[in-house]
Amino acid sequence: MRYGYFSEDSREYIITRPDTPRPWVNYLFNDSYHAIISQTAGGFSYCRDPKFNRIHRYERMLSDRPGRYLFLRDEKTMATWSATWQPMMRRYQKFRAVHGLGYTSISSQYFDIATQLTFFVPPEDACEVCLVEITNRSTGYRELKLFPYIDFVAGDAQMEIDYPNIMSLYNRAGYYSDLNAIIAYKQPHPTRQVESYAWFATSEKVHGYDCSRETFLGRYGELVRPQMVLNGACTNSSACGEDMIGLFEQRVTLSPGEKARFVLLTGFIDNDQLPPLPALQKDHETFLPFLPSPAGKEKIQAVISRYLAVEKAEETLQYVKNLWRGKTDTLVIETPDTDVDRMTNLWG
């Protein structure tokens, strides 16, 4: 069975159906930030070290979940689906995933709504960018709710696997309106400083958010039918001592043929300038939240200002493509075997 093919110039691998035998992944990276992403947006990211500085939760290679998802809900029919096939796995009208040098783009169409998510890692900052485009292919107006979603580890991935009942107790996540971002971190004890933060931001107005995984999924819920998407509204939950996520509720109304575009950012910062330790409550032990220091917030805001606009994201994406073309055009071989040329010149 054929699942995909190389483009004519071999610079892209085009996947024509989402249910490949195993997740087919691309590696997007710079010197500090690495993102592994499959044809259905599964995978994970980390900063410098995949064990200690894991950003995303990734539970199973076979299921290819969780991932970087965009859930959609039609407000008239209450139909729900996910833009990258996973995790709701609807029967799409169209599907196409492209793994290129430095980027991955996933396009689909369901219920006459076309979506395209393009992921890439800028050359310098510890973050990944997702450029989103949504097009109304129907003949009527469409009112949609959008739910961008990631699942946080924000720390030691191996400890998360070995001691899930303990590590979740350290989790803290909340929405910060001044950044229009969700920040997640681990705080093992109120007397121990927070070493790093993972964060998730959107360029669009946020009508709601959730940071609690259980609240999002619902009790006994799962990603194939998350309760908040079915309900069509977030609850503005934070996370404290439980599994944590980043989820936004966004709204868009599209006339026939109209497009909407926005940017999602995921990133990581070290807490170089630690804030003072908060005082403990005397009457009972309380895990008071460690907010990012002013310097930490400035670092996040600086990254946001560089990429969290469609025009800036497009410029950076083109720069990344040109950067990789420059690297691969430096030395080129030509042999009678196309596969050897392709692997040596581009993908090896």
At 208-246, the pLDDT tens digits run 999 999 999 999 999 999 999 999 999 999 999 999 999
H runs (alpha helix) in the chain: 157-162, 164-167, 213-217, 227-231, 294-307, 310-328, 338-342
Residue from 52, 246, 60, 247 nearest 145 by CA: 247
Indicate the average pLDDT of the chain. Answer: 92
Band the pLDDT of 283: cuts 50, 70, 90.
Answer: very low
Cα–Cα distance between 228 and 316 in angstroms, integer? 33
Task: Categorise residue 87: left if φ over 0, alpha if ψ from -120 to 50, beta otherwise.
Answer: alpha
- Confidence class for position 191, pLDDT limits 50, 70, 90: low
Dist. CA 276–CA 290, nearest whole Å: 9
Element (H, E) at 265: strand 259-270
Question: In this structure, is the dihedral angle defined by the CA atoms of residues 286, 278, 178 and 300, taken in order, positive or negative?
Answer: negative
* Beta carbons within 8 Å of 324's beta carbon, 6+ residues apart: 101, 102
C-beta separation of 200 from 185 below 8 A: no
Q: Determine the pLDDT at residue 68.
A: 98
pTM of the full predicted structure? 0.94
Q: Span 4-276+286-347: which CATH code? A: 2.70.98.40
Within a 10 A sphere around the Cβ of 242, how many other Cβ atoms?
18
Average pLDDT over residues 64-84: 98
Report the distance separating Cα 142 and Cα 135, nearest Å.
10
SS3 content of the chain, % helix, strand, coil (to 5): 20, 40, 40
pLDDT given at position 288: 42
Torsion sign (Cα): 313, 315, 321, 327: negative
pLDDT digit string (tens) for 6-32? 999 999 999 999 999 999 999 999 999
Q: Is the dihedral of CA 262, 266, 271, 275 positive or negative?
A: positive
Backbone φ, ψ for residue 269 (5° rounding): -135, 145
For residues 90 and 112, what is the distance between their CA atoms, to the nearest angstrom? 13
Q: How far apart are CA 181 and CA 166, in angstroms?
A: 26
pLDDT of residue 289 exceeding 80? no
Block residue for tokens 């950076």:
316
Pairing state between β 43-47 and 33-38: antiparallel
For the chain, give the number of residues. 348
Measured between alpha carbons, how far is 43 from 251 in angstroms, rounded to an integer?
27
- Please report, for the chain, the start and end positions of each structural domain, with discontinuous segments joined by +: 4-276+286-347
Taking residues 97-120, report their average pLDDT: 99
C-alpha distance from residue 328 to each of 27, 33, 341, 347 (Å): 16, 21, 12, 9
Q: Locate tokens 């410029």: which residue?
A: 315
45: three-class secondary structure by DSSP: strand
* Longest CA pairwise span in the chain (Å): 78
Task: Tell me which of 31-35, 50-54, 193-197, 315-319 is least confident.
Answer: 193-197
Percent of the chain, pLDDT > 70?
93
Q: Rounded to an integer, what is the distance from CA 40 to the centroid of its chain? A: 12
Complete DSSP assignment for 102-146 = TEEEEEEEETTEEEEEEEE--SSSSEEEEEEEEEE-SSS-EEEEE
**Angle 218-201-229 (CA atoms, 0-180°, nearest 5)?**
25
